[in-house]
Chain A
Amino acid sequence: MQPKWKSRIEVTCIYLIIIIMAVIIFYPLLWTVMMSFNQGSSLYSSTLIPKHFSFEHYKWLFTSPESDYLLWYKNSMIVSIANTVLSVIFTIFTAYAFSRYQFFGRKYGLYLFLLLQMFPVIFSMVAIYIFLIQIGLANTLLGLIIVYVGGQIPFNAWLVKGYMDASIPKELDEAARIDGAGHLRVFWSVILPLCKPILSVVALFNFMAPLFDFLLPTIVISDPKKYTLAVGLYNFVNNQFSNNFTQFAAGAILIAVPVAILYLALQRFLISGLAAGGTKG
């Protein structure tokens, strides 16, 4: 066979594989979008191309007195924003100490972080629940936020520390110190500005994590008025699966679309942040 033909066949095969992958990726997503426009709530009568195109499920979410969707949206935003802000603050200080200072317990601390980040919160869910009851924060959003902020420290401190080690030369803060800058001054004027990329990654992760975590809220929150989006949506499909799926689809799309756009816009940035903190670290 001639090399030119061989090359053409190869390229065609590659495009073919990509097209197949695209179909596999789009099929479930498209199906969900179509479901959300189907009239009625039963999946038995629903079809891929809706016979009666309708926005009734979207309308139901926002206007029906039975729907707590907006309330869940609000709860989720409170938890996510609080978690983002607090996590960034806790993480950056911890990472700064571990990256730039030599102190007793540093090495053990790093080992501890690495080990702890492998143990998901679910390992200790009973204890967390008991602990929140004891301090009176069970069934509150504040309790949820505290657990999220504490739980993210090992992973993110490690990530940011790795980034600081690899991307911010120590000569920079030494130079600042020689010029008479104190600990906080170095932190504020040298470290913080240079850490912006990785901090944005941490912020984004910590904004997203509570938005789609349903395990911890199911353990901590029992009042439907305090549900976050994930728990609320899950309960749509959990109780009477076939009956509420179209409503679930509408509710899920309204939150998945903005998130997906954000992720796609920032993907390059996210990956490079992860790679910088994770692979070189």
Chain B
Amino acid sequence: MYSAPHTKDENGHRFKNHHPALAMTLSILFAGLGQLYNRRWMKGLLFILLEVSFIYEFGYDIQLGFWGIATLGEIPGLDDSIQLLVFGIFMIILLVFAIGLYIFNIVDARKQAILLKENGKLPGLKEALRAFYDKGFPYFITLPGLILLIFVVVFPLIFSLTLAFTNYNLYHSPPRHLVDWVGFSNFKQLFSEDVWSNSFFDVLSWTIVWTIVATTMQIVLGLFLAVIVNDKRIKLKKTIRTILILPWAVPAFVSILIFKAMFNDGFGAINNDIIIPLFGGKGLPWLLDPFYTKLALIMIQTWLGFPFLFALFSGVLQSASQEWYEAADVDGGSKWQKFRYITLPHVLYATAPLLITQYAGNFNNFNIIYLFNNGKPAVEGQYAGGTDILISWVYKLTFDNNQYGMAATVTIIMGLFISIIAFFQFRHTRAFKEEGQI
């Protein structure tokens, strides 16, 4: 049976010979053409208008952005490298969005063409708007958050990362001087120049020790207390729990400064009221000797961090089934065996993602390092203080030494570590298996 293009056959089917491929090609040539071919006049015009105004409005800016990123400016004093970099990154983000929209336009042209071919009739305006609203709804409600996220989180992160490949520091800072791309030379310097590599590896090893020891102490103490308080024979459970949670309720920043005063070598209560009366001597150099500062930091972090875990574990323990323990009693299991084979696996399984977050939190625990002793005591021949962890070192490199490029380099290395932690987090997260429905 033959029917001329766009004429009705006996079923009233007008668009038998409509070509989805043609619609797609047209939309690739210029956004909106495919939609016009699909007889979606409003939508087509809208896309055409968007593309024309985008090219008109941003065409030059995007070129400028790319030029800025490629060269970081050519005339010292006139071109501000950093502003050019910021502008360039924003232009790239804008371009990514535009490309996304363009791809959407192509896919849409194809989809609508196929629908048209199959159904043979155009949806009414009301129907089209309805579909647009339904399909677009998740985008509309996430868009404001997304825009904010891009400006406040994504853009700054990209910007910081790009700095790692520049020589941006006190001597190369705009507007008087230009900043240049230097490839991986910051990384080379960090690993090969003695002053840098000594500082870096000292800081890195302490960061790792700090993360593992402090976090594990928090978890072990929290779990231990949760288990013993959960014992059936213990009375006044509620009061005890409230007391043990207290350090969590006091703002950490206040507690740390209190400890800073208490550990003070001269007038601190730890030396004057505890160490000297009990052991004699002159007290311990808590803020002057790196070893004692580290010891103090770990103790303080344990004090600060265990209550949250205690509360968390207590909650999980109360939900543990009594039957498991009764079964273990029948089999004659000891206390330790019950803990090792019932309590521990149950608790760890239920809280794994939050425990991983605790490790990540201490890895990035800038507050305690900075507030307690500002990474001091200083170490001779190094850029970093004796108790600096990576993040506090980055802060110092940025605001004290203006070594922006190097700070960004260290940030990237930190990012690698965090990605490893994030990987474990992903594996424990089941949310990806549950898909949305509409």
Mark B139-159 against chain A: 1 for CB-CB distance below 8 A, else 0. 101101100110111111101
Determine whether A100 belongs to the interface, using a CB cutoff of 8 Å to chain B. Answer: yes
CB interface residues, B 65-107, toward A, < 8 Å: 82-83, 86
- Contact between A31 and B145, CB atoms less than 8 A apart: no
B241 shortest CB reach to chain A, Å: 8
- Encode contact with A along B247-289: 1 for CB under 8 Å, 0 otherwise: 1111111110111111010110100010000000000000000
Contact for B141 among A97, A102, A174, A237, CB less than 8 A: A97
* Cβ–Cβ contact B353 & A28, under 8 A: no
Contact A134–B86 (Cβ < 8 Å): yes
In whole angstroms, what is the CA distance A25 to B415 when docked? 35
Q: How far is the CA of A38 from the CA of B361 in the complex (A)?
A: 36
Distance (Å) between the CB of A11 and the closest chain B CB?
A: 5
Contacting residue for A215 out of B141, B155, B367, CB 8 A: B367
Q: What is the CA–CA distance of A260 and B394 in the complex, to the nearest angstrom?
A: 32
Would A214 and B253 count as touching, CB distance under 8 A? Answer: yes
Most buried by B among A125, A183, A212, A279: A279
Give A187 to B434 CA distance when docked, in angstroms.
20
Q: Which of A98, A107, A183 contacts B137 (CB 8 A)?
A: A183
For B29, list chain A residues within 8 Å (CB): none
**Set of chain A residues within 8 Å of B133, measured between Cβ atoms:** 183
Q: A24-B303, A119-B418, A128-B152 are in contact. Are A97 and B431 (CB under 8 A)?
A: no
- Rounded to whole Å, the gap between the CB of B432 and the closest CB of chain A is 7
**Complex Cα spacing A202 to B264, Å:** 37
Report the minimum CB–CB distance from A7 to chain B (whole Å). 7
| B242 close to chain A: CB less than 8 A | yes
Nearest residue, chain B, Cβ from A242: B267
A255 / chain B contacts, CB cutoff of 8 Å? 251, 254
Q: Is B398 an interface residue (CB 8 A)?
A: yes
| Complex-state Cα separation, A103 to B431, whole angstroms | 16
B187 at the interface (CB under 8 A from A): no
> Are A100 and B437 interface neighbours, CB within 8 A?
yes
Contact string, B280-323, partner A, CB cutoff 8 A, digits 1/0? 00000000000000000000000100000001100110000000
Q: How far is the CA of A122 from the CA of B370 in the complex (A)?
A: 13
Partner of A260, one of B86, B138, B250: B250
Decide yes or no whether B391 CB sits under 8 A from chain A: yes
Contact of B245 among A97, A256, A267 (CB under 8 A): A267
- The answer to whether B229 has its CB under 8 Å from any CB of chain A is yes
0/1 interface trace, chain A 120-145, chain B, CB 8 Å (1 if under) = 11111111101100100000000000
Select which of B86, B149, B243, B260 is within 8 A of A150 by beta carbon.
Answer: B149
B436, CB-defined interface residue at 8 Å: yes
List residues of A (16-40) whose CB comes within 8 Å of B's CBs: 17-18, 21-22, 24-26, 28-29, 31-32, 35
Size category of the B interface is: 35 or more
**Pick from A100, A122, A174, A241: contact of B261, CB under 8 Å:** A241
Known: A99-B436, A256-B251, A278-B354. Contact between A90 and B144, CB under 8 A? Answer: yes
**Complex interface: chain B residues within 8 A of A233 (CB):** 254, 257
Q: Is the interface of B mostly helix, strand, loop or mixed?
A: helix
Residues A162 and B157 in contact in the complex (CB < 8 Å), given A18-B229, A264-B242, A275-B312 = no
B126 within 8 A of A: no
A256 CB contact (under 8 Å) in B83, B243, B254, B425: B254
Q: Mark A92-110, 1 if CB is under 8 A from B, else 0.
A: 0110111111110011011
Known: A25-B243, A102-B438. A147 touches B152 (CB 8 A): yes
Instruction: Contact check, B249 vs A259: say whether CB atoms are below 8 A apart.
Output: yes
Q: What are 12 A-B contacts defined by CB distance under 8 Å? A: A14-B228, A43-B261, A48-B269, A98-B142, A102-B436, A114-B426, A120-B391, A122-B394, A126-B156, A128-B156, A275-B350, A281-B430
A interface residue numbers (CB < 8 A to B): 7, 10-11, 14-15, 17-18, 21-22, 24-26, 28-29, 31-32, 35, 43-44, 48, 90-91, 93-94, 96-103, 106-107, 109-111, 114-116, 118-128, 130-131, 134, 146-147, 149-151, 153-154, 157, 161-162, 165, 170, 174, 183, 208, 211-215, 230, 233-234, 237, 241-242, 245, 248-249, 252, 255-256, 259-261, 263-264, 267-268, 271-272, 274-275, 278-281
Give the A-binding residues of B (Cβ under 8 A): 82-83, 86, 133-134, 137-139, 141-142, 144-145, 148-149, 151-157, 159-160, 163, 225, 228-229, 231, 233-234, 240, 242-255, 257-262, 264, 266-267, 269, 273, 303, 311-312, 315-316, 350-354, 357, 360, 364, 366-367, 370-371, 391, 394-395, 398, 404, 407, 411, 414-415, 418-419, 421-422, 425-426, 429-432, 434-438
